[in-house]
Structure 1
């Protein structure tokens, strides 16, 4: 089955730039698509210094929906927004004061990839962070989602007024261009060994399938592995074919995803298989049963129940039923608000943003007009990060009402 590759390089323009992310794209683009993907054939999508987070989201969502293996290469820098202090991938227009609106929220990667079958998604990341974000990451890690194999590094600031190079990603490209296609773990270890030889130390290393349930301290560091991140041992870099003491342990086999009801026989994979087979009703029926079970066991506002509601909203989108997807996302947002979550909480904003997006895809004017007032009311409570979102709903609703 053909693979899909997304090449994303992003960094701010001007003095806020920590890394020349786009410099790696010509090197990656010189690698044959099939080698990038590790498949016989592959489709490649390239995003160089994108301006708008929605543009990145659109490309990521399309890549995540494609059947077959998906490999995402990301080079860039991370910054925290000042309000919620959540990590974002900085884009071309991002500044410290506008991260919330101009950056790409990192949790969007997790949300867009969560329905993919385990073992089909690989992230290769070369990221740099400012001092504040670097400190935040050392305490919390960077979650990429269950069932996603993530490899890479996050580097601290290179120094005052110094723009770093994405050396880890360039090492990845160099290995791939040299012939052959090693597995992601070997590829990662080889790249780490190359950049360690250039004197790059003190980085956070991302490895394996994450998050890693119950991960203990990395030997020799005393630091846990939240979401798959571990501090690398500066004096003992990882080497191909096996790590020295103090290096990250080999990546474990991708664990079965833990559903809200505990370990199960991989219901996410069964749902994904049904969608890929075009049996949308079977996929929704399975998700509905899981939603009902979680509802009875944990309550309407529980994360367990809301998880399956969100899955059903995505399934409606995949089935082309924008109205049902919009209604479901609105229900998720309302349930989160009723449970006491603040209007600016990331899951609440994400639910309303998706409801807004799906509302714009409803082709039946009467149905869109009927749903518009409820969305406008919800948008008034949850304005989100996009300036003018509420005005957009109101304007579109006025047009629908005028057109009859």
Structure 2
């Protein structure tokens, strides 16, 4: 099966730039697509210094929906937004005061990749961080979601008014261009050896082998200081430090007991297979059974039940049913708010943003007009990160009402 490769290089224009991210793209582009993906054939999508976070989201979402293995190469810099202090990938227009609106929220990677089967997704990262973000990362790590293999490094600021080079990613590209494709763990080690030989020390090393991520890869995730030369790895990373636990692990079994109707195994893999085969009703029916089991065992406001509601909202999107997807995301947001989650909590904002997006894709004007007031009310409570989102809903609703 063909693989998919997404090459993303992004950094701000001007004084805020910490790394010349785009300089790595010609080096990566010189590597045959099949070698980049580790498959017989592959499709490559390249994003160089994108301006809008929505443009990145669109490309990432399309790549995540593609069947077969997915490899994402991300080069750039991380910054925290001032309101929620969450990491963002800085884009061309990002400044310290506009990160929330012009950067790409890092948790969007986790959200978009969460439905992919374990062992089919790899992130290779070469990231730089400003001093504030560097301190934040050393205490928390960089979470990319369960089932995703992560390799790479995060580097501190290179110095006052100095723009760093993406040496780790260039080392990865150099190894791949030399012929053959080593396993991910070996590729990571070889790249670290190259940059360590150039005197680069003090970086945070990212190594989360994930399920089925390659020969010898650990199952946990680790973040720690890189040695002057690669040391012998310990399971899960380069330090003793305990693995960073995901915010909300992907469920592997039914909540508190026997899976619905005696089902066993990973339901997400079965759902993904059904979607890829075009059997959307079967995928939704399976998710509905797990949702019902979670409702009975843990209640409507539980994370388990909300997770399965979110899965069904995504499945409706994959099936082309924008109205059902919009309604489901709105219900998820309402349930989270009713459970006491704040309006600026990441899962709440994500649910409303997705409802807003799906509402704009409803082709039946009457149905879109009927949903509009409820979405506007929800947007009033959850304005989100995109400036003018509520005004956009109201404007579109007025337009729909004049056409009735």
TM-score (normalizing by structure 2): 0.91
Distance (whole Å) between structure 1 residues aligned to residue 281 and residue 236 of structure 2: 50
Offset of residue 249 of structure 1: 7.5
Match in the other structure for 2:225: 232
Distance (whole Å) between structure 2 residues aligned to residue 380 and residue 244 of structure 1: 49
Match in the other structure for 1:83: 83
Change (3 A) 1:226 1:282: closer
Change (3 A) 1:233 1:395: closer
Contact 1:18 1:128 in 2 (8 A): yes
Tell me, what secondary structure is at the counterpart of 2:181? coil
2:28 is aligned with 1:28: yes
Distance (whole Å) between structure 1 residues aligned to residue 155 and residue 219 of structure 2: 17
Tell me, what secondary structure is at the counterpart of 2:76? strand
Contact 1:233 1:247 in 2 (8 A): no
Match in the other structure for 2:200: 200
Distance (whole Å) between structure 1 residues aligned to residue 282 and residue 179 of structure 2: 43
Distance (whole Å) between structure 1 residues aligned to residue 162 and residue 230 of structure 2: 24
Distance (whole Å) between structure 2 residues aligned to residue 60 and residue 273 of structure 1: 20
Q: Map of 1:326-365 to 2, 5 A cutoff?
A: 326-365=326-365
Match in the other structure for 2:47: 47
Tell me, what secondary structure is at the counterpart of 1:15? coil
Judge which range, 387-396 or 315-324, deviates more: 387-396
Match in the other structure for 1:267: 267
TM-score (normalizing by structure 1): 0.91
Distance (whole Å) between structure 2 residues aligned to residue 50 and residue 363 of structure 1: 29
Change (3 A) 1:200 1:294: same
Distance (whole Å) between structure 2 residues aligned to residue 261 and residue 130 of structure 1: 41
Offset of residue 302 of structure 1: 1.4
Tell me, what secondary structure is at the counterpart of 2:67? coil
Alpha-carbon RMSD: 2.3
Q: Map of 1:90-169 to 2, 5 A cutoff?
A: 90-169=90-169
Distance (whole Å) between structure 1 residues aligned to residue 219 and residue 176 of structure 2: 29
Match in the other structure for 1:388: 388
Distance (whole Å) between structure 1 residues aligned to residue 309 and residue 67 of structure 2: 23
Offset of residue 297 of structure 1: 1.6
Offset of residue 237 of structure 1: 2.3
Judge which range, 70-79 or 176-185, deviates more: 176-185
| 1:216-256 Cα shifts (integer Å, max 9, x gaps) | xxxxxxxxx99723213424524xxx549997289x9xxx9
Tell me, what secondary structure is at the counterpart of 1:75? strand
Q: Which runs of 4+ in 1 moved over 6 A?
A: 244-247
Tell me, what secondary structure is at the counterpart of 1:207? strand
Match in the other structure for 1:248: 238
Tell me, what secondary structure is at the counterpart of 2:77? strand
Contact 1:274 1:280 in 2 (8 A): yes
Count of residues paired in the alignment: 385
Match in the other structure for 1:173: 173
Contact 1:51 1:93 in 2 (8 A): yes
Distance (whole Å) between structure 2 residues aligned to residue 233 and residue 42 of structure 1: 32
Distance (whole Å) between structure 1 residues aligned to residue 382 and residue 169 of structure 2: 38
Consecutive unaligned residues in structure 2, runs of 5 or more: 212-217, 244-248
Change (3 A) 1:138 1:210: farther
Offset of residue 295 of structure 1: 1.4
Tell me, what secondary structure is at the counterpart of 2:144? coil
Contact 1:6 1:73 in 2 (8 A): yes
